[in-house]
Chain A
Amino acid sequence: GAVVSQHPSWVICKSGTSVKIECRSLDFQATTMFWYRQFPKQSLMLMATSNEGSKATYEQGVEKDKFLINHASLTLSTLTVTSAHPEDSSFYICSARETAGETQYFGPGTRLLVL
């Protein structure tokens, strides 16, 4: 149980375009989902916390207008990287927390390469 999926698993795009990444909890409902970013050989860095039906909370230094988060249902959160640039190239990982429990389960990640 407690499976989280992400789509796409990898994406290559041109600079200036927008990319949407989906995060789904497959077998549980998640009122809270989290978005992380991980650069090569570094640890995960929390970007934002997404609560179903409300605005996301962004960590300091993360531009909310650049990284748009939508958590419209208890099983789906999306992260849109707007006007992507090469420095946005990274590994984006989401996690979801069960409504009834507090353990966070992570998705497989999405590799973004901006050319």
Chain B
Amino acid sequence: NAGVTQTPKFQVLKTGQSMTLQCAQDMNHEYMSWYRQDPGMGLRLIHYSVGAGITDQGEVPNGYNVSRSTTEDFPLRLLSAAPSQTSVYFCASSSRGPGANVLTFGAGSRLTVL
């Protein structure tokens, strides 16, 4: 049972490039979410989904897109990367949600935008 799998673990982009952070869970969780973590800022919610076909914005959604075509996958897209998006990104899922049940986090993806 892999839990929540994030790829890639590390990525360096140039300003203006696009990329997708992948997140997959094998626990049949309905709720999935993306957080970014910056020094001194804690975990801030970017986007979340309560089920396939349903997504919503979190606290810091600008510059990011998401989609949820299957229960298992919840990719995060950066359409035109900016240095301000340099951060560690965590995907998390739960069996009920968003707040009722506990979150299982992936190992994280460290993104640097030059």
Chain B binds chain A = no
Interface residues of B (CB under 8 A from A): none
